[in-house]
Amino acid sequence: MSRPLSIPHPENPLHISWHDSNWIPFLNASNVMDYFSDKSNSFYDRTCNNEIVKMQRQSMEQLKNMVGVEYILLHVKEPILYVIRKQHRHSPEDTTPLADYYIIAGRVHQAPDLASVFNSRILSTVHNLEQAFDDAISYAKFHPTKGYSWDFSVGKTITSEDNKEIKKEKAREEPSSQFQRQRVDMLLGELLRKFPIPQIVPQEQVTKADDEKSGTQKNDTNKDQTPTIKQEPMDTNTNDSVGSQNQVKQDNHFNCFDLEMNLEQSFIIKAQNELNETSDIRSQSLKDFREWIAKHVYFANCRQDDLFLLQFLRTKKFRFDKSTELFENYLLLKHSVPRWYDFTDGVFSRMWALYESKVAYPLMERDKEGRRIILVQARNVDHKIFTASDCIQLLTWIARVILEEEETQISGIVTVMDQSDITFGHLRLFSVKDAIDFVSVIKQGSVGRQKGMYIVALPSFASFMLEVAKKATNEKLKKRIHVVENMDKLMTLLDPSLFPKELGGSIPEIEMMESFKKTAFQRNDLVRSIQEGVDWDRVAFDGDNSS
C-alpha cells in the first residue's frame, strides 16, 4: 500500500540566510547589487525589472520608467552593512515597499515585518509567564487548618536554626480550627437527628404508667426487674438548635417558593437524559439542599427558592456534594470580587449604559437544542469610558437574568464573542488582576451549563490571552472553545436566522435588545436578592480563625 504524498511547506524566509564566500572579500557599494542578484540567492526574484534591464544591457536608471517589482540599494554603511529594498513601482514617483534585506558581513537576511516582531515578543512573554506560573504553583502548599500558603523553603538547604523554627511552628499548630469544629458539630447533630440514641426507661415506670391507666396500684416488688428500651427523639446540640430555628423560620415561606414544572416535554427528557433529573430526585435534592443551608448560620437566610437552588443542582447534574460546594463558592466569590456582582443603583446605571452601546445581549430565540446564545461585540466598548470590570459585570448580569429560566438551566448557554475591529486599547482594558480573578471565578464559582464559546475574528495580538486563559480551564471546557475566522464561517456552525437582522437574521437588533430589557427589569429584584441574607461578618470571623 503506497503512502500518501506529503505536501512540502515553504520554508519561512525569516529563518534562512544566503552568502557566497567568493564575493565577500571584494564586496562594496558598486557591486553589492550584482552580488544580491546571484542565481543561487533564494531572496532574489528573477522576474523583476532589474533582470529585464540587465538582459537588455540598459542603465539601471531605466527602472524608474518601468512598472513592476524591482530592487534598489536603500542604505550603505561600508564595509559591513548594506540594505536592499524590494518594492513594487507604480509610477516614477509612486512605489510600495514589499520587503527589506540586509547584508551584514556578506550574509543576506530578510528583515522581519512588524507583525512577526510582535508575535515573537508575545510568544516569548507567554512562555516566560507560563514558567513563572509553574514555579509559583510549586511553592503553593495546603494545610487543613491554615488553608493555602506559600512555602519558599523547597529546594533550600535547611540549617539547624531552620529546624528549630520548624519544630516551634509545629508546636504552635492547633489540631483543628473553629470552622472545622463547627462543621463536625453540625454533622454529629444531623446524625443524632436521623439516628436518635435509645433512652433507657426503668420497667417500674412503664408498669406504673399502665397501672395508673387501669386504676390499679403497683407493688414495689418489681423494682429490680430488667429495664426496657424506649425510642425517643433526642434534642440536638446548641449549633443544631440554631439551625433548627432557621429551618422553622424558612419553612414558613418555603411553600411560596415551590416550583411547578411547566416545561415542554423535550426539556423534561433532556433533563432526565443529561442531568439525571426526575421528579423524585428533584424534590429530595431540594429538601436536602434547604436542610444543608439551614445548618450554615452564615447564609441560612439567603435566597432558597426552587428556581435558584436548581441552578446549582443542574449545573452539577444533581451531585449533592458538588452542588453545595458550588453554592458556597459562588456566595464567597460575590464577596471576594464585589466589583463584578454589585448591582446597586449607581453601578447598575453605568452597566446599563454599556448595554445600550450594544456590547452584549442575548438573542431572542433559542437554538434547536434549546440553548440561549449571548452575542458579545467587543468593538462597541468605548475603552476610554468603560473598564474590564464593567464588561464582565454586564456579562454576569445577563447570565443571572437568563438563568432564571428553567429551559436555560437545562439546555445551557452559548457565548459568541465577535472580536473583529478591536484595537490595542480594548486589549489594555484587562489587567493581570482581572485575568486572575476571572479564571478563579470560572474554575470555582461558574453557575450554569457553558455549552460553547465561539470567538470570531480574533486578532493575532490578542491570541496569546486566549492561550493563557485555556491553561487555566479544564479539558472539557477547552473542547468547547472554538476560534472562527469570520462571521460567515460562524453562520455555518450556528443557525443564522437566530442572529439580528444586521447579521443576516430576521429580527432587528434593537428589537432583541428591547425584548431582553423588558424581561431583565421584571427579574431585576430576583437577581439583586442573591446578594442578601449572608452574614459576611461571621464569614470573615471564621476565616480569620481558620488562618
DSSP 147-189: EEEE-TTTTSPP-HHHHHHHHHHHHH--SS-HHHHHHHHHHHH
Q: What is the DSSP letter of 58?
A: -
Q: Give the pLDDT mean for 518-546.
A: 67
| The residue to which cell 427558592 is assigned | 305
* Residues whose CB falls within 8 Å of the CB of residue 374, separated by 6 or more in sequence, listed in order: 360, 361, 362, 363, 395, 398, 399, 402, 413, 414, 415, 416
| CA dist 93 → 51, 72, 73, 87, 390 (Å) | 21, 14, 17, 12, 50
Asked if pLDDT for residue 254 goes beyond 70, the answer is: no
Residue 534 CB neighbours (<10 A): 20
Cell (9 digits) for 252: 414558613
Q: What is the mean pLDDT of residues 95-121?
A: 90
Q: State the chain's maximal CA–CA distance in angstroms.
A: 143
Q: Per-residue pLDDT averaged across 411-433, rounded?
A: 83
Instruction: Name the pLDDT band for 246 (thresholds 50, 70, 90).
Output: very low
Q: How confident is the model at residue 103 (pLDDT cuts 50, 70, 90)?
A: very high
| Contacts for 57 with CB less than 8 Å, ≥ 6 apart | none
Percentage with pLDDT > 70 across the chain: 71
**What's the pLDDT score for residue 85?**
94
Q: What does the pLDDT look like over 70-81, one tens digit per residue?
A: 999 999 988 889
- Taking the C-alpha atoms of residue 79 and residue 228, their distance in angstroms, rounded to an integer, is 113
Query: Per mean pLDDT, which range of 72-86, 163-177, 426-440 is the poorest?
Result: 163-177
- Supply the DSSP string of 62-107, one letter for each residue: GGGG--EEEEEEEEEETTTEEEEEEEEESSSS-EEEEEEEEEETTE
Going from the N-terminus, what domains does the chain have, and what CATH number goes with each? 13-111 (3.10.450.580), 238-332 (1.10.8), 342-530 (3.40.525.10)
pLDDT tops 70 at residue 184: yes
Cell of 10: 515553504
Question: What pLDDT does residue 346 have?
Answer: 63
For range 158-165, the mean pLDDT: 62
pLDDT, tens digit (0-9, with 9 covering 90-100), for 203-233: 555 455 555 555 544 444 444 443 433 333 4
Would you give the distance in Å from CA 20 to the centre of its chain?
Answer: 54
With a cut of 90, say whether residue 186 has pLDDT above it: no
Output the pLDDT for position 398. 92
Q: What is the dihedral of CA 323, 325, 326, 327, to 10 degrees?
A: 90
Cα separation, 149 vs 366, whole angstroms: 45
Cβ proximity of 466 and 505 under 8 Å: no
Handedness of CA 360, 364, 365, 370 (dihedral sign): positive
CA distance 242 to 482: 49
Residue 21 pLDDT: 87
The number of beta carbons lying within 10 Å of the beta carbon of residue 238 is 8
CB burial of residue 403 (10 Å; 0-12, 13-18, 19+): buried
At 489-509, the pLDDT tens digits run 999 999 999 999 999 898 999
**pLDDT surpasses 80 at 306:** yes
- Residue given cell 542578484 in the structure block: 37
Inform me whether the pLDDT recorded for 391 exceeds 80. yes
End-to-end CA distance of the chain: 67
